[in-house]
Structure 1
Amino acid sequence: EQVAERMGKERSTVTNYLRLLKLPPDIQLAVRKNSISMGHARALINLENVDAQLYIFKEITEKGLNVRQT
């Protein structure tokens, strides 16, 4: 909560950014470069298996899937 207050962001926003750290580096980089959206990243975070995360990430980038399709 203190970080959120200092940054002027909602607590949930800060929590979502921290959760991104659980994703593989390739996916984190894609979020930073805006190759995929935060919505995509949140969907990928829900997959516990790294191989599944990377597979779906590849599908998103190759097929241009939107968040709903993900």
Structure 2
Amino acid sequence: MFVITQSFMSLCRQLGLQPGQVLFVGDAMQADVIGPSTIGAFSMPISEFERSFASGSSFYAPHPVTQLFQRLSAAKAA
């Protein structure tokens, strides 16, 4: 897990962002969802990301992500 954690931290540094400003989405629960959460980043399975994007909510969606999808839905409806 250490190598995975270091990879996520390195990516955040390269982007110039703090982990709490990043959402990682992936299909491997251990590497893509649990890994990023260990550094304080947001993460969710891709299937839940797609569901959230379509409906505006998901059990896995962090609160800021849910808010973003709700604003996008409202903008589409306007």
Relative contact order (alpha carbons < 8 A, sep ≥ 6): 1 or 2 greater?
Answer: 1
| Same topology, TM > 0.5 | no
TM-score (norm 2): 0.24
Higher strand share: 2
